[in-house]
Amino acid sequence: MYPDAIDNVPAVPTQLTKAKIISKLHLHEKILLDQKRSRRGKMEWSPLPQSMHAANTINPIRRIADAVSVAPNPDKEPIKMHLGDPSLTGRLPPCPVAVGAVQESLISQKHNGYGPAVGELAAREAVARRYTTSAAPITADDVILASGCSHAIQMAIEGIANPGDNILIPHPGFPLYSTLCKPHGIEDRSYKLDMKNGGLIDLEHLESMIDERTRALVVNNPGNPTGIVFPKEHLEDILALAYRYHLVIIADEIYGDLTYDGAVFHPLATLTPK
């Protein structure tokens, strides 16, 4: 492992950056030495030590989901409450139009090759039509298709922050945000949701988390795991704070179409700071 293999090194490294690079080099050299020792004098390969990246990639949700897996009981169907996925029960099937489109694509064999990295134009145009508004117009050029929303969040975090930067995430919140930050040396800073005040963001505490290395603010609305839907006025206050500090907002709004008890969901992109 050589110095030029370390990603995202500033043109003029600071003392802290140099220390981090040296530390990483020593760790990588130790891993390589362990790998050589594990193979020395043996005819067969031994299991290789995991990489630093893999060691730092831990998803608590998957650990819980895997831990609660039990043998099926033929007399009693389990009620699965560990993952926020309403399709698990089979009661939220894909619409017939989507099923038909997939079937037609497979049968026609017209789409078997590689497509554009950002997604097919027709699909991006459809997404743009679905989410564009007069207040926040978007076109196909503003859309990148991802392999699920977790992948979209990953691309957003990796595209915004460098090692040593920090991103603000809600607590309680979705553990994946932290999982995606740690392998890249990005600090995840948790801001409080005030459960005694309807689960709204504690804006004073949020503001105290911001410094010169803060690159983005994750806003999860409707919330996971709280299920809380932020009112319009609160969202406008969040926007005002982000505008004041020039913070990018990563809006995780995957549950926008799953609100209950008359709660009204307001996409952040349709609002302006007051």
Q: Write out the DSSP string of 226-240.
A: T-----HHHHHHHHH
Please tell me the predicted confidence (pLDDT) of residue 5.
Answer: 41
Contact residues for 53 (Cβ-Cβ < 8 A; gap 6+): 183
**Strand bridging mode 187-194 / 200-201:** antiparallel
Residue 129 has a CB neighbour count (10 Å cut-off) of: 11
Q: What is the pLDDT of residue 9?
A: 44
Q: Which amino acid is at 91?
A: R
Residuewise pLDDT in 10s, the chain (274 residues): 333 444 444 444 555 555 555 566 666 666 666 666 655 556 677 787 878 777 777 777 777 667 666 777 888 877 766 677 777 777 788 899 999 999 999 999 988 889 999 999 999 999 999 999 888 899 999 999 999 999 999 999 999 999 999 999 999 999 999 999 998 999 999 999 999 999 999 999 999 999 999 999 999 999 998 999 999 999 999 999 999 999 999 999 999 988 988 999 999 999 988 7
- Burial status of residue 50 (CB atoms within 10 A of its CB: 0-12, 13-18, 19 or more): exposed
Q: Distance (Å, rounded) from C-alpha 18 to C-alpha 9?
A: 9
For the chain, list the domains and their CATH numbers.
162-268 (3.40.640.10)
Give the integer Cα–Cα distance in Å for 169 and 62: 19
- Give the pLDDT of residue 50: 78
What residues pair up with 96 in beta bridges, in sequence order? Answer: none
